[in-house]
Amino acid sequence: MLTEERRKEIIKILKNNEEPITGTELAKKFKVSRQVIVQDIAVMRAKGYNIIATSNGYMISKLNGKKKNIKTIVCRHEGYSNMEEELKIMVDMGARVLDVIIEHPIYGDIRSTLMIDSRMDLEDFMEKVKNNKAAPLASLTGGEHIHTIEIPNDRAYKKIIKELKEKGYLIKGE
C-alpha cells in the first residue's frame, strides 16, 4: 500500500470510530512501524486534519461538527485521589472532560487532551497515571489548572459547579 493510500485509510478509520485508536493498532493493521504511523499523523495534521492524541490513542475531534455546549472551569487540588474525585464529579454529571490546561509562568499554556467521558475512561486514565508514576500536570502550578468540558445541558453544568465548589476544588466556572 502506498503512503497516501494508507493515510486516506487512517483518516477513514479515525472518522468512523468514536473511540481512540492506538498507533500500535494502526501499525499492525497496515504492517508498518508505530513510528511510521506517528509520521503519518504529523503529516495529516499539517494538512489540516484535526487529529488529537489522547492517552488512549488517536481520534479526529468532532468539535467542528454540530454545536457543542463547551465550558471552562478553573480548579485547584493536590494529589491523585483529589484529581480522580474532581474528574468523577464531572463525568458523573454527563460531562466529557476534553482537556487539562495549566498556565505555566515560563512556557505559557500547556494543554493535554483527556477525552474522559465515563467512569471506565476515568479508571483507565488513573491506572495509566499511577502505573507510570506520572505527576499530575497541575503539580507544576501548585495544583491550579483549567478543564475544558463538554456538557449535556446547563442543569448538569450547574450541578458540576455546585459540587466542585462544595469539595473546595472550584476557583472559577465560565
Domain span including residue 101: 70-173
104, 115 in Cβ contact below 8 A? no
Are residues 21 and 92 part of one domain?
no
| pLDDT tens string 6-18 | 999 999 999 998 8
| pLDDT tens string 87-106 | 999 999 999 999 999 998 88
Residue 78 included in any domain: yes
Are residues 42 and 107 part of one domain?
no
134, 145 in Cβ contact below 8 A? no
- Residue 38, pLDDT > 80, answer yes
Residue ranges at the known binding site: 77, 86, 145, 147
* Domain-ending residue, one of 60, 88, 105: 60
Residue ranges at the known binding site for Ni(2+): 77, 86, 145, 147
CATH of the domain at 10: 1.10.10.10
